[in-house]
Each structure stands twice: as C-alpha cells, then as structure tokens.
Amino acid sequence: MRLNPRRVAEVDRLIHEPARLMIITILSTVESTDFLYLERETGLTKGNLSSHLSKLEAADYIEIEKTYRGKIPLTICKLSEKGEKAFLNYRDQLKYIVENT
C-alpha cells in the first residue's frame, strides 16, 4: 500500500483546525448542546468560540438556534447532516493517514 501525499493535503481545513475539531468532536457525541457547555469543554474564550461557531454555521456544518433559558439567552448548537458527513469523511482521511504511515 502506497500513500498518496496529495490526499493528505485534501483534508477539510474547516474541520482540521484544532479548535473547530474540538467543537465538532463534541457535537458528534451529543444530540445538541449549548454555548456555555462548549466553552467549558473546549477551554476556548467566548470570542474565539463564537467566531468558530459562526464559521461552522456559515458552512452549514452546524445549526445554531438562539432561544432563552428563562430570561437568559441560550445558544443551542447541533451538527447538521452536512456537518456529520463532512466529519465522517474527515475521520476517513485521518484513518488513511494513520494506516498508511
């Protein structure tokens, strides 16, 4: 089995970025979750988390629903169908790298 280097460079950079990879791995294990949970789990600052979520949303990889817990704003995030597929595909890329080196 011969590794094709070009394939390595084809990884989805939107997912490849560690901060977003964290977010997506978390979202892949739960039905949905909120901003504050993601903030705690990832250790990202709010600003950073916010902008990464926006990017993932812009790519339709996640869906963001803004609602309220009582009177306090609540931001619910969940992986979209498209995001799930993209992540599965990304995992396959990683597997390909791990298995062929």
The DSSP element (H or E) to which 72 belongs, if any, is strand 72-79
Residue 91 binding DNA, by CB under 7 A: no
Computed on alpha carbons and rounded to an integer, the radius of gyration of the chain in Å comes to 15
Contacts of 76 (CB under 8 A, 6+ apart): 32, 33, 34, 64, 65, 66, 67
Six token digits for residue 64: 């963001």
Dihedrals φ, ψ of 32, to 5°?
-160, 165
x/- letters, 7..46, toward a copy of itself (CB under 8 A): -xxxx-x--x-xx-xx--xx-xx-----------xxx---
Task: Identify which of residues 3 and 73 has a Cβ nearer to a copy of itself in the complex.
Answer: 3
Candidate segments 23-31, 47-55, 84-92, 93-101, binder of DNA by CB under 7 A: 47-55
State the binding string over 41-80 for a copy of itself (x if CB under 8 A, else -).
xxx-------------------------------------
- Report if residue 59 touches DNA, rule: CB under 7 A: no
